């Protein structure tokens, strides 16, 4: 055990653990509880040169500030009135002539004290020119150039707008680059070599669509048929010998539909002319199908399939329907309603168990295997 010895006069250590010992107050130092007494130093006067009494300006006594709610001193009020009397008046702005004098005065928007004069608005649509309709286009009976180019089969209307904007179209030997230009029906329209080169670079693909793929956008978990257009599924016997490029997929769209449960020829194209020919409003291209059915078909039912049925309240165009064998019908249509063949067969008591498209126009499916594709040949036409 060790013994701690303290020096005489030293403070005893604190018994409280963790706290430092308290120091005794030093009387020589200032107290922390009372403010110190400051002694004001005597002011030292510095002699300065004062101006002569004759030169020094006599100071005027400063008026006492006015209390709130009292009037200004009379002298100060008179000074303000004198200053206001000597002040020059503002120059009046030069009056400008009113613009658009032909317009009617609005019913609201001004005050009488500012010189506003109330007017009357002419609400008669027959006499007020403000209600006149837009001017009729010049020569409205003439077709637009883009529409005429599509009718002649030179390109689609969308492509025609691009060709016109690029200056690739001539009408009667003159270049036309203004959209919306109207031309005579007998006008000579030509496209330049640049436009023909652009058209030669776009492709049309023929695909043998298998069951389980949709024609357009993916839906209900089914993939679109365009996913099959890749180098692995390119038909080895393609007579065109065109090398596949990724650019051939840009803008590739189906020209016609095939149901998920249907198979056969599906056309995918970048060419607006082909799309217009196959699915345009005035399209008359034939489409041939082989349809396997179950049920009994009477002679009257076969006549109705050829002509006499309506879907959604619209009468169908005449079709060519005949027996291919004991359980298979051959359909040739010139229109393409949604699930048209299946709904036609239901109206005459038949059930479709298989449907295959084998021809579009003059292009046949031929020996193209299921799930493969080929390019449309340069001289091949629908």
Residues forming the active site? 259
Q: Rounded to 5 degrees, what angle do the CA atoms 371, 373, 374 make?
A: 165
Contacting residues for 342 by C-beta, under 8 A, at least 6 apart: 259, 352, 355
| Dihedral, CA of residue 291, residue 297, residue 302 and residue 305, to nearest 10 | -60
Token code pair at residue 64? 């006492």
Give the integer Cα–Cα distance in Å for 175 and 129. 38
Give the integer Cα–Cα distance in Å for 222 and 214. 6
Ordered strands of the 189-191 beta sheet: 174-175, 169-171, 189-191
Query: Which residue, chain included where needed, has tokens 């390119």?
Result: 234
DSSP state string for 140-197: TTSPBHHHHHHHTTSS-HHHHHHHHHTT-EEETTEE---TT-B--TT--EEE-HHHHH
Give the integer Cα–Cα distance in Å for 240 and 238. 6
How many beta carbons lie within 10 A of that of residue 261, not counting itself? Answer: 13
Per DSSP bridges, beta strands 320-325 and 253-254 are unpaired
Sign of the dihedral through C-alpha 287, 228, 274, 242: negative
């Amino acid at each position: 055990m060790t013994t701690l010895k303290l020096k005489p006069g030293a403070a005893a250590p604190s018994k409280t653990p963790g706290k430092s010992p308290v120091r005794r107050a030093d009387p020589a130092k200032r107290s922390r509880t009372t403010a110190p007494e400051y002694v004001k130093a005597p002011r030292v006067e510095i002699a300065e040169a004062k101006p002569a009494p004759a030169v020094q300006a006599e100071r005027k006594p400063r008026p006492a500030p006015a209390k709130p709610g009292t009037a200004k001193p009379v002298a100060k009020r008179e000074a303000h009135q004198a200053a206001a009397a000597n002040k020059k008046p503002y120059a009046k702005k030069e009056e400008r002539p009113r613009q658009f004098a032909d317009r009617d005065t609005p019913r609201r928007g001004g005050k009488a004290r500012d010189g506003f004069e109330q007017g009357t608005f002419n609400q008669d649509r027959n006499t007020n020119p403000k209600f006149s309709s837009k001017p009729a286009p010049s020569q409205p009976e003439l077709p637009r150039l883009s529409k005429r180019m599509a009718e002649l089969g030179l390109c689609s209307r969308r492509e025609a707008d691009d060709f016109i904007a690029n200056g690739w179209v001539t009408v009667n030997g003159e270049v036309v680059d203004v959209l919306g230009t109207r031309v005579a029906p007998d006008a000579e329209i030509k496209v330049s070599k640049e436009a023909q080169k652009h058209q030669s670079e776009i492709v049309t693909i023929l695909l043998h669509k298998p069951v389980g793929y949709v024609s357009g956008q993916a839906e209900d978990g089914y993939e679109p048929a365009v996913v099959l257009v890749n180098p692995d599924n390119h038909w080895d016997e393609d007579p065109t010998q065109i090398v596949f490029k990724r650019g051939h997929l840009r803008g590739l769209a189906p020209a016609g539909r095939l149901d998920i449960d249907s198979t056969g020829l599906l056309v995918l194209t970048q060419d607006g002319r082909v799309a217009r020919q196959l699915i345009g409003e005035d399209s008359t291209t034939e489409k041939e199908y082989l349809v396997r059915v179950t049920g009994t078909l009477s002679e009257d039912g076969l006549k109705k399939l050829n002509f006499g049925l309506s879907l959604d309240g619209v009468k169908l165009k005449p079709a060519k329907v005949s027996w291919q064998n004991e359980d298979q019908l051959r359909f040739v249509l010139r229109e393409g309603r949604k699930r048209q063949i299946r709904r036609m067969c239901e109206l005459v008591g038949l059930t479709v168990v298989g449907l295959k498209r084998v021809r579009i126009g003059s292009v046949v499916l031929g020996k193209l295997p299921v799930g493969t594709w080929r390019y449309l040949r340069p001289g091949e036409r629908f």
